Structure formats: structure tokens, C-alpha cells
Structure 1
Amino acid sequence: MWTFIKDTGLQIGGKIISISIALVTTAVLTRKLGSQTYGNFSLIGSILLLVDAIADLGTRTIGVREASKKEASKVFINIFYLRTFLSLIAFIVGLFLVVFYGAFEGVRLEALISLLMLYLTSWAGNLEIVLQTKLRFDWKTIVDILFPLFFLISLFLGGGSSLKIIFVYYLIARLLSLIIGWWKVRKWVDWKQKFDKKLLIKLLRESWPMGLFLIVSASYDKAIDSTMIRHFLGVEQVAWYALAYKVYGSLVMPAYFLMTSVFPVLSRKNNRYQKVYKQALLILLLMLVVGVPLIYYLAPIAIDILGGSDFGASIRVLRILILALVISYINHLNGFGLISRGKQRQMLKISVMALVVNMALNWWTIPLLGIDGAGWTTVATEAFSGVLMWKAGRS
């Protein structure tokens, strides 16, 4: 248990730093861009998350699971081949969206620049696979900090307030952090390992259900609500919702980091699953007991610091999303638990049903309740998914 606490504590400590940097960056961006342009920035980011999910297709999680069981370097090299191929497919899909999707009207060049991030994000995922398998959460934390830090520094040193310049800075920051990260892990990968067709096919077969789950999750996580808010309410309200969701997304990360620490152990074939599961659940509950009251109380202060008076509507949305946060923490545990036991196909079924619920509720609640409706839809979707995951875990 203490190993998980140490690894999770290391990542949470690093995440506190990286979140602090990211929130300062958000405060800079909201003031530099204004609510209208920040809305476009958020819309581009949320839709392209969907493209990132296509490029990943579950290979990051499955790669860690498989590399934890067998010869790691052989898995590493073949997962890199697979992820490179998937990145090419995702780029083509993204290019189609940028050119033909109406939400990008007026910001197509900016979206195209951001699309170049796809390949760098893929290699960031490769790096995470190696670090997570080797249980080197210290270096994972360092890389997680360097990326937002370089981006923030570029905003201060480079100046400029156009979306084009902002996305160029984003690319440069990611590239620099990757160079440092890969310099460290290069010796942990046997680059002479050969392409193994059978292994690659096995990895793809194991990954695609998880990948479709991630694609569907990315759709209802931000893409659908952002797109519907823009359609029904306008791009400025996308910015208000996006700011609240930015804080919510940051607050979810401790649960993710705990589960990335636990996941390699859950995936190993031994009889420790129930013990590790209960330990992880205890840590998650302690996080929530401490965090939820603080978040509720500090929500107005946080939004005022990050966005200023123009983003007052974000406070109410953030407080609604606190309910989703509680459910999401438990869902992280049950979801990673199912994947570690090879039940990613059940996760896919759950995500598809959740997508249908999310789309229907967003279509109904956003015109009726505004951006609050999108927040309540997130709560309902997490609750619906949680019940299904719990049932799948008991089977």
C-alpha cells in the first residue's frame, strides 16, 4: 500500500505543480484571448481530443498491461509501430473534420496547426508507456510538469494574442518536453527489437475495444457538450463551460494518477487484486472527503482568478460538476479494474450506452437549462456509467 501511496503522492505533488501552471496559463489565456476567442480555443481542443483518442485507440493502456506481463522492449517497439500507423489514420480523420466540419468555420487554419500536435501527442503516449511500465513515476511527473511550464514561459516571452501563435507555442512546448523525456528513457528501450506481426495483431485485437471506449468517452466527455453549447447558445458560453470543465478535468487527475500507479500491479497474474482494489478505494475516498468541501467553498475564488468577472456563470457549473467528480473517482477504480482483467469489451458496451444517454440529455437540457444543463448531464452520465461498471465488475 505504501508503494502506491508514494507513487501516487509523487504524481499528485507533480500534478499540483503542473495544475498550478496550467491554471495560471488559463488565467493568462482568458485575459489575452477574451471569452469569444477562448471559446474557439476550447472548442478546437475539445473536438481534437476525439482525434487524439483515435490515434491512441487504447494502445497506451493495453501497452502497459502487456509490457508488465512479458518482455517489455519487444512490446514497446511493436506498440510504437502500431501507434504511428494509428496516428496517420487519425490525422486523415482530423484533416477531414477541419476542412468540412462547420464548427471550425473561421478558425480552420488554427485548427490545422493544432492538428500537427497529434504526432507529438502520440510520442508522449509512447513515453508514458515506458515510464509507467518501468514504474518511473518520478520522470513521468517531471515530463508532465515540463510541458505546461514551457508553454507558460512561451506565452510570457513570445507575446502575441492570436490563436495561431498560441497553438505554435503549444507545439514547441510539447516538442521540448519530449526531447528531455526521451533522452532519459532511450536506454530502457531496445531499439533493435524487430517488427513482430503476430504481436502487433494481438496488441491491436486487445486494444480496439478499449480504443473505441476512449473514442466514445472523448465524444461525451467534452466534444458533444461543447458542440451543442455552441449550436444552441453560442461560442461565448462554450468558454464559460470550458473554464469550469478545465478545473473539473484537473481535479479528476489525482484519481487517474492513483490508478496508473496501481494498474501495472492489478494487471499482473497474482492473487493481490482484491487487496490492491480495497487499498486504492480507501485512498480515493480520503481524497474526496478532503477535496470536495474545499472545492465547493473555493469555486468562486478559483473562477474569479482564472477568468475574471466575465466568467461568473462558470461558478455554478463547477459546483454542479463536483457531484460528477465524486462518481468519476470511483469509476476510475472500477474502469481500470475491468481493463486489468481483460474486460475492455464490457467497457466499450458501457461507453456506447453512456454516449446515447449523454447525447439525449444534452439535447434536452442545454436549451432548457443552458450550460448548467450540460453540467447536470455530465453528472447523470457518470452515474449511469458507474452503475454499469459496478455490475460488470461483479459478474
Structure 2
Amino acid sequence: MINSTLWGLLFTLSVFGGIFASLLYMGGWLQDALGGYFEGLLKAIQPWLSGQSYLVRLVVENALVGLSAGISVAVPYVGIFYIILALLEDSGILARFIVVLDRLMGKLGLPGKAVIPIMLGFGCTVPAIRATRVLPNFRDRLKVAILYMTVPCSSRSGIIFGVVGHYTGAVYAIGIYVAAFFVFIITAKLLNVVIPQEEHFLIEELPPYRRPLLRNMLVKAWVRMADFVYVVIPLLIAGGMVYGVVAYYNLVEPIVGPFRFLTVGWLHIPEETIIPLVYGFLQKDLVPAMLANALGTTDFSSVMTPLQLFTFGLASTFQIPCIIAFSMLVREFGIKRAVAIEVATLAYGMLWAGLIARLVSLLL
């Protein structure tokens, strides 16, 4: 007989499998549709652009390329994820994930309630950092905050599926999650040596199973997506325009050159990719847009190999949180600890990205 814990684990894994499939296939279909719309828009304004100065053409084209890549990648995957998250919350399934994963958390030196902020981290790191307050002591809160570098938020999931999965296939996209899982375990074990755990017991109220209402799910998803519409979209346009000006004045090489040791030397990806990686600190949703600007195309597979796209996905995942999440780290843990977390996780994440990429290259 299979015990209830194993059944719960199998159910949890099957739900996560369904989430991945929905993001990969439904998100991919929406990405193609939105991308095709923006390609048509760009072609439609070419006659007008041809009569403008070179600077105006660069600025407008890069603004549209950035907007196209940002919306066609971020909206499908982030939007679908938030709808699924609302479904899990309203149906009562999410609370049961916490109970199922409690034993795993204990083996990693974390309290069972650490599942709550970690699960929230798959949506957005900002509220997840604040949610560490449910943990019983400061040491556990600090450990979970560090571990967020291995927890792909919805924006990073958009990069994984929209950039990596869409152009290289499901195996590479899922491979990033598998890599993140193992790095999460190794990092948690290391942190448990440095910051030992105190013994805790999980007490969690399980709500009854309910039939979720579509309207409530959509409202929840929209509330979580509102920041993207009102904050990120203007940044997508502004980021593209800034890159157009940078390209016009031939400033790209002076900017990317000093980071060749990281991009070309360690990660083996094009030197221009440092631009979207840096922009990721402002907002992770900007990464696909700025990658398109930096490479001059939204067809990433035409200028990067599958392994390079995979490595870029790793570097984008094992990266410091965005600037809003950093401000939350400062608020919760103080400026010194926040800076230490940012610097340490950046170096640690890039180390893992390069190591995993080399391991995968040996297996191909």
C-alpha cells in the first residue's frame, strides 16, 4: 500500500507538471500570436520610419522591439501563472502543498512554514520576502531570503519558458527548474551548517476543498498583473529608447566590454547579453525585451545556440532580485545584510550557472 504522504507527493508533482505544461504550450501559443501582431505593426510603420533620421529610426524601432518582446513573452507566461496560482489558492490545494512539503523542509534545515514564503516566491519575490515574517525566528527568515535566488518568480519563469523553452524546447526549460531544485537543496544544506536550525513543529489549518469561481480567479490575476501594465510596459518602451540612443552613439562596446570575463569567458554567451542581465535588476520582465534590443532580433535562436540560451536562462534565474525586492530586503533585514545578500547571491549564482552549463555541454 502506498501511504498518504507518498500519494500527496505524487499529487503535488502531477500538479506542478500540469503547471509546466500549461505555461509551455498555452503560453507558447499566445507568445507566437502576440509576437506576430507586433511584427506586423513594425512592418506597417517602416514606410514612415524610412523618412526619419537614423537616430529616430533606432529609437522607435528599439522601443517597439522591446515592447514586443516584453509583452509577447511576459504577458502569456506571467498571466497564465497568476491564474493557476489563484486556482490553487481558491480550491484549497495550495495549503495542502505546505503540509506535503513539510518533511522535506525539515530535512533541509528549514521550518515547515518556510513552504509558505517559498511558494509565494514562485509568484513574486517582493511579497514573499515580507511573508518570511511567518517564520519563528530571524535566522530562518534570513536563510529563506537567501534561498530566493534559486526560486524562479513568475517573471523569471517568463524568461525560462518564453526565451529558453520557446526557442530550444521543453527539455531545456524544465532542465533549468531541475537545476534550480538541486541548487536550492545544496544551498539550504550549506546554510544549515552556517546557520543551524532550531526545532519547530508545523501547525497549519487546512481549508476545505472548494470550487473556485472564474471571476474571482481573474480578479486576483489582474491585481497581481496590474504592476506589469502600469509600471513595466512604460519601462519596456523607455528601455528600448535608451538602448537606441546608446547604439546611435556607439556606446555598446564600452559598456559590455568590461564584463566579457563573465559573459564570454565564464558563461560562454554573447557579450551583449550583459545588458539584459543588468536590466534585470530594475525589473525581471525587462530581460526578454532588452535581450531582443541587444541582439537586434526577437528570434533568439538565430543568434544563440540552444546551450547558450539555456545558460542565459540559468544566469537570469540564479540572479539577484529586482530593485523592488532589494528595497524589501533592506526594509526587512537592513541595508548591510541586503547588500551582502545581493553581492553574495550574484557571485554564487553566476558560479552555478557556469558550472551547470559546462556539465550540460559534456552530456550533449
Whether TM exceeds 0.5 here: the answer is no
Q: Which has the higher helix share?
A: 1
